[in-house]
Amino acid sequence: MATHPLLAQLNEKQQQAVAASERNMLVLAGAGSGKTRVLVHRIAWLLQQQQVSPYSILAVTFTNKAAAEMRGRVEELLGSSVRSMWIGTFHGLAHRLLRAHYMDVGLPQNFQILDSDDQQRLIKRIIRSLNLDEKRWPPKQAQWFINAKKDEGLRAHHLDGYDITERTLKEVYQAYQDSCDRAGLVDFAELLLRAQELMRTNKTVREHYQRRFRHILVDEFQDTNAIQYAWIQLFSGVGDPSVEPNYVTIVGDDDQSIYGWRGAKVENIQQFLDDYDNVLTIRLEQNYRSTGTILEAANTVIANNSDRLGKDLWTDGNAGEPIHLYAAFNEMDEARYITGRIEEWHQQGNALSDSAILYRSNAQSRVLEEALLHARIPYRIYGGLRFFDRQEVKDALGYLRLMANRQDDAALERVINTPTRGIGNRTIDIIRQAARERSTTMWDSARYLVGEKTLSGRARNAVNDFLNLIDELEDITADFSLGRQTDTAIKKSGLLAMYESEKGEKAETRVENLKELVNACDHFRELESDEDLTPLNAFLAHAALESGDEQADEHQDAVQLMTLHSAKGLEFPLVFMTGVEEGMFPSQQSMDEAGRLEEERRLCYVGMTRAMQKLVITYAEQRRIYGQELFHKVSRFIGEIPPDCLHHVRMQTQVERRTDQDFGRFHTGASHEAFEQTGYQLGQRVRHSKFGEGTVLNYEGTGPQSRIQINFDDLGSKWLVVAYARLESC
Ligand code: ATP
Ligand code: MG
């Protein structure tokens, strides 16, 4: 019997999963075994073979990029468009639900999304206005607390407040929520919680969606949290005797659960098996992504974890080359080694975009970025430092947000005095205070104060001008295209002129980014799902929800930089895993807790299994973090890789450390020579008459002032003035 074309390029297990008629299914399998591929083919199968309407499908993935890719792949398989299919991230879908039912959930029609940065600012203001000591109650911690509670489905009034800490945080939570509600702002966690409350409490809405979405498919299920799990339950109708339950397919890998720290519960997989009837479980065991060596190494590392659901992963591909391991002296050396390898890769005719540099924390990217800039290698940061997160872009968005919604306090605070227009902190404090006392938003209280005598004449005029500016911006741009609207806002507000008058490369980039924003608006294509929004509101939602997917240079061939977390689900022919040191990866905080250490190991597994052909692991013996020089041991994870999977790259010896003034800049030839003048090389073994033997680690300054850093075997690291140190080589 001829195989159906949709099943042709799948192995037997995959075919079974794609064509299964069971109501509930779990595909549990390791990295690169084709889980996502199965999901895509299953959607196509349902549409084509089972005549399911795209309208009846709800598919959830982890990133916007993954969602767009999934839609594209389904369309490719079918040869037709499937626009009415709901496919997106939990947050994106929640946003869509809230928009459709804004009245039912008590939100204004033009409610805005509060990103995490603005959320923190708002919480900080709340803490101040409650007269709490910021040192004792750090805004970041309160933010974490509030989000964690929301992720568990808890409102402030659900908390007991049994001790002073919880009582205070509860109070902050409540005041923060009141302030969001007044301003029509919704944070990320709130999107999920409110959508879940809507589904739970509104029978009509619930039944509508339960009838509509006959098929629910979820990728990366291991990283769902409590509220997301509850969501799936509500949509599927499981446990609700009044409805016929829907079809639910979940795919995941317990070994890739890496968001426990953010409330994700890998136990949800077990919970699913308990809550849903007759679940068909399919395990995929063949890996199609990586070489035999990479797979063996990753499998051996993850085998050190306990409590695994357990799975065997094999490949019939070739062994490939060993994993390259590079021990760098410091982070500069590490970055330079990586750029060298990428240049080589590129010269061999490979695309830059086929290589990725992964790191544990966002802060690590700066040095890597600088090395890439220096080597003139285009790169793209994926997630983290997003285009829409850049200061100037957020300023511009602040104006747009206010034009769309005057009640948006976060936006108002951001732009009321940017560029400076004579509205000082004192005036802003007065407005804030009045808003609090009168239980209104800052916009309304500013309007009120303009008619009062509380403010000085000058401040009053300045505030009045600002309010008029925003009103005027909205008026005159009402019929403009989105691009022209934005262009007018950045010009008339004085924002563009402010950045144009600043000097230096950074300011130039900022001006470019502002222009790029106008570009982005011009090219912004609303999704069909956004038809109920004005173009401006659709764009603002897009800006808040996107995570780097729409960066300016999207089409340019560029190296991909991202955190290990955001690499989940992706694959690249060449992967660099950097900063693989104790204290970095596993991170310092995770080393004291067994559970968290295992999560770090899963993250390591995720990182390694992103590589298709080549994996390069690097670590630095010395690293400067937040202004401190730290010495790290090589990560235990490297020790867990079978030695015959590894190839140790010989140390390179020509690296210079910057002086403090130009920290982070890569030296050009001149200072390089200066370093060589000292007669020592990094990595060289030397002897000091008093301190004994050690290794040259670092160097700074030139001429008689030059200093050298030695890591002495017995005493640890010391800085010495070269001219007096009288070192002997050994
Ligand atoms: P992860 O756990 O990392 O998300 P995954 O299980 O979702 O991985 P996919 O991304 O679906 O795996 O597949 C990994 C790679 O293997 C992809 O390039 C995919 O196209 C390829 N692949 C999967 N199944 C097959 C198959 N039967 N034949 C050929 N290639 C396959
Ligand atoms: Mg996948």
The preferred substitution site among 3, 7, 288 for testing ligand 1, maximizing ligand atoms within 8 Å of CB, is 288
Comparing 77-91, 183-197, 280-294, the range with the smallest average pLDDT is 77-91
Comma-separated ranges of CATH 3.40.50.300 domains in the chain: 5-98+192-286, 295-386+553-649
Q: Is the pLDDT of residue 674 over 50?
A: no
Average pLDDT over residues 248-253: 97
Q: Is the pLDDT of residue 676 over 70?
A: no
Tell me, yes or no, if 444 is annotated catalytic.
Answer: no
Say how far apart CA 158 and CA 667 lie, in whole Å.
57
* Ligand 1 centroid, distance to 70 Cα (angstroms): 13
Average pLDDT over residues 555-580: 92
Comma-separated ranges of CATH 1.10.486.10 domains in the chain: 387-545
Q: What is the pLDDT of residues 303-315, one digit of tens each?
A: 999 988 888 789 9
| Phi and psi at residue 371, to the nearest 5° | -65, -40
* Ligand 1 centroid, distance to 585 Cα (angstroms): 27
pLDDT of residue 697: 77
Write the residue with the smallest CA distance to atom 19 of ligand 1. 34
Average pLDDT over residues 386-415: 89
* Ligand 1 centroid, distance to 379 Cα (angstroms): 25
> Around 629, how many Cα atoms within 13 Å sit in the side-chain half-sphere?
19
Q: What is the pLDDT of residues 570-629, one digit of tens each?
A: 999 999 999 999 999 998 888 877 789 999 999 999 999 999 999 999 999 888 765 567
Of 308 and 508, the one with more pLDDT: 308
pLDDT of residue 654: 46
688 CB-near residues (< 8 Å, 6+ apart): 694, 710, 712, 720, 725, 726, 727
**394 annotated among ligand-binding-site residues:** no
Highest mean pLDDT among 194-198, 659-663, 681-685: 194-198
pLDDT band at 159 (very low <50, low <70, confident <90, very high): very high
Comma-separated ranges of CATH 1.10.10.160 domains in the chain: 112-183
* Average pLDDT in the chain: 87
691 CB-near residues (< 8 Å, 6+ apart): 710, 712, 714, 715, 718
Q: Which residues surround ligand 2, an ion (CB under 5 A)?
A: 35-36, 569
pLDDT of residue 687: 87
pLDDT of residue 662: 36
* % of the chain surpassing 90 pLDDT: 60
- The atom number, within ligand 1, closest to the CA of 256 reads 2
669-729 under CATH 1.10.1060, yes or no: no
CATH fold group of domain 387-545 = PCRA; domain 4 (1.10.486)
pLDDT of residue 704: 54
Q: What is the CATH number of domain 295-386+553-649?
A: 3.40.50.300
5-98+192-286 under CATH 3.40.50.300, yes or no: yes
Residue 79, classed as helix, strand or coil, is: coil
Comparing 12-26, 512-526, 550-564, the range with the smallest average pLDDT is 550-564
Catalytic residue, chosen from 36, 168, 196, 563, is 36
Q: Is the CB of 253 under 6 A from ligand 1?
A: yes
pLDDT of residue 262: 80
- Please report the ipTM that was assigned to this predicted complex: 0.99
Catalytic residue, chosen from 23, 35, 149, 657, is 35
Listed residue (242, 189, 183, 118) closest to 543, CA to CA: 118
Cβ-contact 32, 299 below 8 angstroms = no
Q: Is the pLDDT of residue 341 over 90?
A: yes
Comma-separated ranges of CATH 2.40.10 domains in the chain: 669-729
Q: Is the pLDDT of residue 148 over 80?
A: yes
Q: Is the pLDDT of residue 261 over 90?
A: no
DSSP per-residue letters across 301-345 = HHTT-SS------B--S---SPEEEEEESSHHHHHHHHHHHHHHH
DSSP per-residue letters across 164-224 = HHHHHHHHHHHHHHHHHHHHTEEEHHHHHHHHHHHHHH-HHHHHHHHHH--EEEESSGGG-
User: What crossing angle do the helices spanning 457-477 and 425-437 adopt, rounded to 10°?
Assistant: 80
pLDDT of residue 217: 98
Average pLDDT over residues 334-338: 94
Highest mean pLDDT among 35-44, 254-263, 374-383, 621-630: 35-44
pLDDT of residue 693: 87
pLDDT band at 162 (very low <50, low <70, confident <90, very high): confident
pLDDT of residue 529: 52
pLDDT band at 659 (very low <50, low <70, confident <90, very high): very low
Average pLDDT over residues 672-698: 72
User: Which of the four CATH numbers 3.90.650.10, 1.10.940.10, 3.20.20.70, 1.10.10.160 does domain 112-183 have?
Assistant: 1.10.10.160
pLDDT of residue 386: 56
Of 417 and 691, the one with more pLDDT: 417
Q: Is the pLDDT of residue 205 over 80?
A: yes
Of 215 and 590, the one with more pLDDT: 215
Q: Is the pLDDT of residue 30 over 90?
A: yes
Catalytic residue, chosen from 115, 151, 190, 219, is 219
Q: Is the pLDDT of residue 523 over 90?
A: no
pLDDT of residue 655: 46
pLDDT of residue 627: 57
